[in-house]
Amino acid sequence: MILDCLKKSLFDKKGKWPDELPECLWAYRTTKRQATGEISFSLAFGSEAIIPPNVIVLSISTLLLNIEQNSKELAISLDLAEEKCEKTITRIAAYQQQLLSSYNKGAKIRQFQP
């Protein structure tokens, strides 16, 4: 997936993949996966990713930040992280079952006689 992203972004910029790699990695980490329905960043760290320009250029969410309230909400989200992982595991199992059934549709059962 990362190689596909690099190929698409480097279509006209040959040899500049080191400059494009961080952007491709960011896109990969902040895109929902079909199997899990979650962003890999949130599964790993328990919170949503903040886009780098939002940290540098102040937005409403950064201007209205209350550190105590944010700490409480982070603690609550960490408590819910286990539930989120369980939901993700069941979603992966359902996705794999769906893939298996679609793959087996084209399979023909054959009986061999000695």
Domain-by-domain residue ranges, the chain? 2-101
Q: Quick check: helix, strand or coil at residue 39?
A: strand
Residue 62 has what pLDDT? 62
Query: Does position 57 have pLDDT exceeding 80, yes or no?
Result: no
Query: Does position 46 have pLDDT exceeding 80, yes or no?
Result: no
Residue 50 has what pLDDT? 65
Mean predicted confidence (pLDDT) in 62-70: 71
Ordered DSSP codes for 32-59: B-TTTSSBHHHHHHSS----HHHHHS--
Tokens in use for 109?
Answer: 């059962």
Per residue in 1-17, pLDDT (tens digit) is 777 777 777 776 677 77
Listed residue (37, 41, 11) closest to 28, CA to CA: 41
User: Is 33:40 a contact under the CB 8 Å cutoff?
Assistant: yes
Average model confidence (pLDDT) across the chain: 76
pTM of this structure? 0.47
